Amino acid sequence: MRINVVYNNQIAGWTDVLEVLKKSLDKKLVDFKVFDIDNLENYGEFTFVIGGDGTLLKAARFYSASEVPVLGINLGRLGFLSQANVSEIDNVVDKVLKKEFSIEERLMLKSESSLALNDFVIKGCNTYRTSKFYLEINDKFVCDYIADGLIISTPTGSTAYGLSAGGPVLYPTLDALVIVPICPHTLNARPLVVPSSESITVKTSDKLLSVAVDGSETKECVKQISIKISEQKAKLAFLKDDSFYSVLRNKLHWGVSPELN
């Protein structure tokens, strides 16, 4: 098995973790190449990603084109999508080489110029003010919002920014999309779950829209944006038997009762 090793040099501690992973792969005579997250290439049949969820998202988008699974070694804060910590590297490498892992295909979204595994976040280019957004689904007007922004999310992204903005949690393999208004100036604007087959367009009347993809800092200003599912799917590798619900419980403390004094 040939392996891609991807690292993010913007996250503290990456050099030490990369050395540990390289030594583990060398010890097992594995053929691998190392790539910076901003200079990715496809060399292998499997990819280790050293970094946080943002690094994993970027790598998963890139390797989706060649259907190569990715597995995260977490150096970030939450590591919701990552499967391993630094202390587990030797054991993780063993399991991957023995192919003791499962692969989940995750739905992704696309616009004319971008691909997202988590979400598109749409705001006015003047982010210090609210904006008016017009929502269309399948070229039919649905509603308008006066809000700080809109989030168009995949099920994978429903536990990210959409959750913080009051959106629902979706099981990650559902064929559905979530539309979540950010701080709407009304009490009757609610998140909307729609089939993944729907085509979503967001317009504005007199301002440009700022679009961020998977939390990226690079934003483009456009008059409108159309979003639909991508033909490509991200492939995430999972080693553990933990269910999605146990991950919610352990990492987001969902459904955990407060302790009594």
Task: Count CA within 13 A, CB hemisphere, residue 143.
Answer: 14
pLDDT tens per residue across span 58-79: 999 999 999 999 999 988 666 6
Q: Where are the domains of the chain?
A: 2-101+239-252, 109-231
pLDDT digits (tens, 9 = 90+) for 30-58: 999 999 999 999 999 999 999 988 999 99
pLDDT on residue 125? 83
Average pLDDT over residues 160-168: 94
Across the strands, what pairs with 152? 120, 179
- What does the alpha-carbon distance between residue 166 and residue 175 come to, in Å, rounded to a whole number? 20
pTM above 0.75, yes or no: yes
Decide: 239 and 71 in contact? Cβ < 8 Å.
yes
How far, in Å, are 135, 150, 175, 208, 224 from residue 205 at the CA level?
12, 15, 31, 8, 9
Could you say which of 16, 53, 90, 148 is catalytic? 53
The pLDDT confidence band at residue 163, using thresholds 50, 70 and 90, is very high
Please give the CATH architecture assigned to the domain spanning 2-101+239-252.
3-Layer(aba) Sandwich (3.40)
209 pLDDT more than 70: yes
What distance in Å separates the CA atoms of residue 200 and residue 227, rounded to the nearest whole number?
5
Q: Decide if 61 contacts 221 (C-beta within 8 A).
A: no
Q: Which CATH number fits domain 109-231: 3.40.50.170, 2.40.128.20, 3.40.50.970, 2.60.200.30?
A: 2.60.200.30
In tens, the pLDDT along 100-153 reads 999 999 999 999 989 999 999 999 887 678 899 999 999 999 999 999 999 999
16 is catalytic: no
